[in-house]
Chains A and B, each alone.
Chain A
Amino acid sequence: MISVTTRFRLHRCLTFFALLGSSNMAFAAEMDMRAGVTDMSQRILQLHHYSLAICVVIGLLVFGTMFYSMYAHRRSKHPKPATFHESLRVEVIWTTVPILILIGLAIPATSALIDIEDNSDADLTVLITGSQWKWHYQYLEADLGYYSNMATPEEQINNFETKGRNYLLEVDRALVLPTDKKVRFLTTADDVIHSWWVPDFAVKQDAIPGYINEAWTRINTPGLYRGQCAELCGKDHAYMPIEVEVLAEEEFDQWIVDQRLAIELASGQAVADRAKTWTMAELIDIGQQVYLDHCATCHEADGSGQGSTYPALAGGEIPNGPMAAHISRVMNGAVDTEMQAWAPQLSDLELASVITYERNAFGNTTADIVQPITIFEAR
């Protein structure tokens, strides 16, 4: 067993190389797990270093012995092989020693796990719902909720534009959390299994449809932290990132106040939008952008769709059929398919304009116009 001092030195050594690596290769992947910004993430890093060190030492011993034997006992050097082929004593030793090493590993792992699974006494709770392919965050105490979609433009993914620094790790609305407060996460999903993972917090929890799971974190340092979905969930599994903005407590409280204000303003705006009668041109303009932001990933920018899973809208039955059915499909989704309910995610104006767009683009010529007030009444 390695002594405490040796372990500490090894740990320091590995950390040094990790830092060295991260400063030299400015934007290459770290070679080591990150320390993160919570006490738990740092404990986990230590556990990782500890187990890695043990494995490296055992590896050096075993492989060293093998290489030595390959050299010293090769036939040209060692023509007469020995004849021993069993030893109870040796078998007992190399069974018992590994068990002791494992016990040494199990102790810090057990201690960390017991703490990880203690979700009690949280200061705030956030409900995280995974969908194909976005997250929804709801602050239970503040009665505030919103969707978080990837913000990386399609042009970057398709290599038409240079990729930004936070390629695939940026969202339109980040989850905002306070420092130094115990945050309880409840995760669930509304279609398939997703997994919410932020490496800097060392929180990874599956989001399972129909069930809620809990996890917690307490973040030490303000900043922006990024994560990704960690369970294959269909076509755009790679495209549902997580961004968390962590603010000091007072700033967080202010942010909550600002959000409530913004909701009121938005509903004020929504009233104004409903009162107005919009022209075809205005709706098409807005609708096209909404379509590209939310619908094109499955139905394609030109409405051609992808097979029967993502039906074509160009010449499609629903965009050219009764308006009520089209509105219902967009607002409520379709059971047992990947077509989501957009009613909770988009405003009346956005829904009205995207439906108008679909009915008049890609060669569709219904000449139908949908006003935001129609959507409002359908809710």
Chain B
Amino acid sequence: MTVTAGHNIPNRSPLMAFLSRWLLTTNHKEIGTLYMWLSFVLFFIAGAMAMVIRMELFQPGIQFAEPLLYNQMVTMHGLIMVFGVVMPGFVGLANWQLPLMIGAPDMALPRLNNFSFWILPFAFTLLISTLFMEGGAPNFGWTFYAPLSTTYGPPSTDVFIFGVHLMGISSVLGAINIIVTIFNLRVEGMTLMKMPLFVWTWLITAFLLVMVMPVLAGAVTMILTDRHFDTSFFAAAGGGDPVLFQHVFWFFGHPEVYILILPGFGIASQIIPTFARKKLFGYHSMVYATASIAILSFVVWGHHMFTTGMPLIAELFVMYATMLIAVPTGVKVFNWVATMWRGSITFETPMLFALGFVILFTIGGFSGLMLALVPADFQYHDTFFVVAHFHYVLYPGAIFGIMSAVYYWLPKWTGNMYDERLGKIHFWTAIIAINMTFFPMHFLGLAGMPRRIVDYSLQFADFNMVASFGAGMLGLTQVLFLYIVIKTIRGGKKATGRVWEGAEGLEWTLASPAPLHTFETPPKFPTPEEDYPRD
């Protein structure tokens, strides 16, 4: 990168300069970079855990991961992917892009921004250190249902709770920062209904975060007090109810999964118009659809609990509300397709990932619709059918969203084009590997294989073997991605300011790489064509 570090202080050692730059930066670009690297490192760690899981599930029988270890891998893989990879990844993208997209010099609360980031490495060091504690890491699934996590949780459960509190604080503070930035620092002329869609989806996501992360904090605190301070929120013995935990958790948990995908929707809405050379179809609908999804997400938490003995009326209400979410989601998909329609499309790597996102996320959406039907859910719940569903919406959904954004904006961040041929190889091998890994899981679930099991009956062996092969291949594609990113940072074909022929938006009016300080005077908006750099 050709950005220059902060102030020049003479006689400072290079190490001190490096540390004070990265520990103390309040610059949204540098903080964005920090989030992205944290996300990438944790992606490899959680991915390694996935490799352990898939290697053990390669064949029936216990090969090397005893149940106690296996359950820890399953739990930690989920926790780190959700809280350490997807969320920081999207926050990193928000940090880099939101000020650029709205014409602001930085986030509204830069010092808070720094604090929000630096909580996370500390929190994840704590969480990962639980693997080495007596009794091992948390082993009750990322959903930590009581009483498995209260009465029977290992000592590391309390460290896990502390870690979750820290991550929650980071998320809430980050979300507040994002909302205040978007409300207050938009350039003159950029009304809410003129903001880029990535900004809209992040605005809505940030509200979801502010509202539900505290509910998670409440849930883990109740687990802590049930464990150590003689409360009985979730223990029948003391007048409590284990199902109450599920209500509180999923009240957080369902909006959380929309937090994990909405920014991805925003990214697709930036990339597809760029490479179709056509404005996004139905801008207003897209905004309303996103808002509807967010609002509906608050009333469907019960669909994770259909087998707990819910009353019929509640089951019916939740089923209808869950099915209804398919409508605004479908509207978004149709709008993306309409954006492509009669455009002039080229298939650079970001576009490939964005199109892969639309198609494979939709497949995940289909299994989600099937899961909503309560009678059928009685056969799908807690099986690999659910595992297939959420991996389709999370991997080709959230992760592809992040990857496509990285390919899309890396030239702006670094000033170098990534290697297009390698990018395409990454895409195609990922597509094959993802489907090889997760598609068979639908069949496994339908055939009767439950979730979170270390070992399985013989009729599940073939599809598990296929899935494990796919997973190995998927792991290798990440290494390729890492190589591509590092290679691009170090050099490559020089990128222009506009980078992509069809790109529109304030960030593309800047030079590539974007200087450390940008928009210190507010730009003109809307950007006249002649203001896009000619180089």
**Which residues of A line the B interface, CB within 8 A?**
25, 27-34, 40, 43-44, 47-48, 51-52, 55, 58-59, 62-63, 65-66, 69-70, 73-75, 78-87, 90-91, 94-95, 98-99, 102, 105-106, 109-110, 112-114, 116-117, 156-159, 163, 165-169, 191-193, 195, 197, 199, 202-206, 208-211, 213-214, 227-239, 306-309, 336-338
Chain B 128-141 interface 0/1 with A at a Cβ cutoff of 8 Å (1 = within): 00000011100011
Residues A106 and B307 in contact in the complex (CB < 8 Å), given A73-B342, A75-B345, A230-B383: no
Cα A105 to Cα B282 in complex, Å, equals: 27
The residue that A167 contacts in the complex, of B60, B309, B315, B323, with Cβ under 8 A, is B60
Chain A: which residue is nearest B324 at the CB level?
Answer: A102
Residues of B within 8 A of A34 (CB): 447-448
> How many chain B residues touch the partner (CB < 8 A)?
98
The residue that A229 contacts in the complex, of B319, B370, B450, with Cβ under 8 A, is B450
A230 with B381: CB separation less than 8 A: yes
A169 with B362: CB separation less than 8 A: no
A51 with B443: CB separation less than 8 A: no
Cα A90 to Cα B337 in complex, Å, equals: 12
Cα A205 to Cα B309 in complex, Å, equals: 7
The residue that A112 contacts in the complex, of B347, B375, B382, with Cβ under 8 A, is B375
Main secondary structure of the interface of B (DSSP, over half): helix
The residue that A231 contacts in the complex, of B237, B309, B382, with Cβ under 8 A, is B382
A192 with B342: CB separation less than 8 A: no
Cα A105 to Cα B458 in complex, Å, equals: 34
Chain B 273-295 interface 0/1 with A at a Cβ cutoff of 8 Å (1 = within): 00011111111110000000000
Smallest CB separation, B431 vs chain A (Å): 13
B326 with A44: CB separation less than 8 A: no
Q: Is B343 an interface residue (CB 8 A)?
A: yes
Question: Can you report 17 A-B residue pairs in the complex whose CB atoms are below 8 A from each other?
Answer: A51-B370, A51-B373, A59-B366, A74-B347, A75-B277, A82-B278, A85-B281, A102-B326, A116-B375, A206-B307, A206-B309, A208-B308, A211-B241, A231-B382, A232-B71, A232-B148, A307-B136
The residue that A238 contacts in the complex, of B379, B383, B456, B462, with Cβ under 8 A, is B456
Nearest 7 interchain pairs by C-beta: A210-B236, A29-B447, A238-B453, A213-B309, A55-B366, A85-B279, A82-B342
The residue that B307 contacts in the complex, of A65, A163, A169, A195, with Cβ under 8 A, is A195
A69 with B148: CB separation less than 8 A: no
Q: Is B429 an interface residue (CB 8 A)?
A: no
Task: Name the segment of B38-46, B181-189, B328-336 touching the other chain.
Answer: B328-336
Cα A202 to Cα B446 in complex, Å, equals: 12
Q: Is B2 an interface residue (CB 8 A)?
A: no
Residues of B within 8 A of A228 (CB): 448, 450, 453
A230 with B145: CB separation less than 8 A: no
Chain B 322-359 interface 0/1 with A at a Cβ cutoff of 8 Å (1 = within): 01101100110110011111111111000000010011
**Which residues of B line the A interface, CB within 8 A?**
60-63, 67-68, 71, 134-136, 140-141, 145, 147-148, 151-152, 154, 235-237, 241-243, 276-285, 307-309, 312, 315-316, 319-320, 323-324, 326-327, 330-331, 333-334, 337-347, 355, 358-359, 362-363, 366, 369-370, 373-376, 378-379, 381-383, 443-444, 446-463
A192 with B359: CB separation less than 8 A: no
Residues of B within 8 A of A110 (CB): 316, 319
Cα A199 to Cα B381 in complex, Å, equals: 11
Chain B: which residue is nearest A32 at the CB level?
Answer: B446
Smallest CB separation, B72 vs chain A (Å): 11
Smallest CB separation, A327 vs chain B (Å): 24
Residues A69 and B345 in contact in the complex (CB < 8 Å), given A30-B443, A109-B375: yes
Given contacts A109-B373, A237-B454, 15 further A-B contacts (CB under 8 A): A28-B462, A30-B447, A43-B375, A44-B375, A70-B345, A81-B343, A85-B283, A106-B323, A156-B61, A166-B457, A167-B458, A169-B457, A228-B448, A229-B450, A232-B145
Cα A318 to Cα B373 in complex, Å, equals: 52
A193 with B134: CB separation less than 8 A: no
Residues of B within 8 A of A309 (CB): 68, 135, 154
A63 with B359: CB separation less than 8 A: yes
Residues of B within 8 A of A117 (CB): 312, 315
A75 with B346: CB separation less than 8 A: yes
A98 with B327: CB separation less than 8 A: yes
The residue that B344 contacts in the complex, of A62, A79, A192, A227, with Cβ under 8 A, is A79
Residues A62 and B140 in contact in the complex (CB < 8 Å), given A74-B345, A86-B281, A204-B379: no
Chain B: which residue is nearest A66 at the CB level?
Answer: B337
The residue that A27 contacts in the complex, of B152, B284, B346, B459, with Cβ under 8 A, is B459
Smallest CB separation, A48 vs chain B (Å): 5
Smallest CB separation, A84 vs chain B (Å): 8
B450 with A109: CB separation less than 8 A: no
Residues of A within 8 A of B134 (CB): 307-308
Chain A: which residue is nearest B445 at the CB level?
Answer: A33
The residue that B279 contacts in the complex, of A78, A79, A83, A169, with Cβ under 8 A, is A83
Chain B: which residue is nearest A86 at the CB level?
Answer: B282
Chain B: which residue is nearest A21 at the CB level?
Answer: B443
Residues A69 and B379 in contact in the complex (CB < 8 Å), given A51-B370, A109-B373, A232-B148: no
Smallest CB separation, A218 vs chain B (Å): 15
Residues A158 and B61 in contact in the complex (CB < 8 Å), given A43-B375, A102-B327, A309-B154: yes
The residue in B136, B327, B460, B463 that gathers the most chain A C-beta atoms within 10 A of its C-beta is: B327
Residues A192 and B152 in contact in the complex (CB < 8 Å), given A47-B376, A98-B326: yes
Residues A233 and B148 in contact in the complex (CB < 8 Å), given A238-B67, A306-B68: yes
